[in-house]
Amino acid sequence: MDLIKDNSKLKYAYEQVKECLLANNIHEFVFETRIIFEDLLGYSPSKIKLHGDSLLTSDEVERLNNCLKQRFTGKPLAYIIGKAFFWNNFFKVNEHTLIPRQDTETLMVEILKLYPTKTQDIKILDLGTGSGCIILSLLDEYKNSQAMAIDISADTLAIAQENALSLNLEDRVKFIQSNWFDELDSCVDKFDLIVSNPPYIDVSDPFIAQNVAKFEPKQALYAKNNGLQAYEIIISQARNFLKAQGRLVLEIGWQQWESVQALALRYDFSSYLVKDISQNPRCAVLECKTR
């Protein structure tokens, strides 16, 4: 059954969408309603105030109802509207890309502290680039920097490439399909900074949200060895691809700091932990020890 009827006034449809989302236990119902009207139909909040009495077209009603039907299956809104906001920009996303998370901005904040001069030329490698949200946000901040971005999935890289084009950053980033470092040459490819938000959830993790497990790409979520496999590979090989004072900045799960710290120690990095805005462990910074 359609929730929004033909000939609905814009302002009533807006309220109705809000109520439907709330009734379906969607906690961010106010925010999502605004996104649905703004991004799906092109009605900004001010436009809604000005034209609240105008009637929605039947095409708009159909699009709203389609969106709500999909949303009520648990499909994340970002996949329905095809984009998500991260740091300063929108990024195209689809079923091949993880939806960028606000928690991942913890890495951005820490990197901006580590490299305070925005005009710096930093050579950056992003491992597991997904939508490209981290590396493209960094290149947007550091206008003189260059990057390589790796992902194992060609479908994922296609989206990252589209995002680079729409942000006019395509000249400063090279996308490579690779299993972590496999396609890089450690003699040539040396970086100041390696950044990664790898898959780190254990397959049997009881805490993973049902909709995340159902809709987001498995290869973006899960890692073997209690979720540590990607860290073991990345940390054990990173030094070969880092310059002498190089750094490795990793997103980590809330229970993984001690294991990642132990790996850092084993491979001769000094390390420290950064917490996210909810005070959960979120980011590990590994620095090459000077020998």
Ligand X SMILES: C[S@@+](CC[C@H](N)C(=O)[O-])C[C@H]1O[C@@H](n2cnc3c(N)ncnc32)[C@H](O)[C@@H]1O
Binding site for ligand X (CB under 6 A): 98, 100, 104, 128-131, 133-134, 150-153, 156, 179-180, 197-199, 219-220
CA–CA separation, 206 and 97 (whole Å): 22
Across 79-93, b (16+ Cβ under 10 Å) vs e yields bbbebbebbebbbbb
Q: Which is nearer to ligand X, 36 or 150 (CB)?
A: 150
Q: Which of residues 56 and 286 has its CB atom nearest to ligand X in the complex? A: 286
How far, in Å, CA of 125 to CA of 180, rounded?
Answer: 11
**CB 13 to ligand X: min, Å:** 32
Tokens at 290, concatenated:
């000077």
Minimal distance in Å, beta carbon 127 to ligand X?
6
CB 171, min distance to ligand X, A = 21
Residue 266, CB-side half-sphere exposure with 13 Å CA sphere: 14
- Residue 20 or residue 147: which is nearer to ligand X going by CB? 147
Least distance in angstroms from the C-beta of 161 to ligand X: 13
Q: Residue 1 is encoded by which pair of tokens?
A: 């059954």
Note whether 253 and 200 are within 8 A (CB): yes
In the sheet that holds 242-251, the strands lie side by side as 173-177, 146-151, 123-127, 191-196, 242-251, 281-288, 269-275
Q: Which is nearer to ligand X, 4 or 199 (CB)?
A: 199
255, burial (CB in 10 Å: exposed 0-12, middle 13-18, buried 19+): middle
Q: How far apart are CA 9 and CA 252, in angstroms?
A: 47
d(CA 239, CA 80): 40
The least distance separating ligand X from the CB of residue 108, rounded to whole angstroms, comes to 10
Least distance CB 189 / ligand X (angstroms): 15
Q: How far is the CB of 179 from ligand X (least distance, A)?
A: 4
Nearer to ligand X, 154 or 165 (CB): 154
Residue among 196 and 271 whose Cβ is closer to ligand X:
196
- Choose between 150 and 288: whose C-beta lies nearer to ligand X: 150
β 89-92/83-86 pair status: antiparallel
Q: How far apart are CA 34 and CA 42, in angstroms?
A: 10
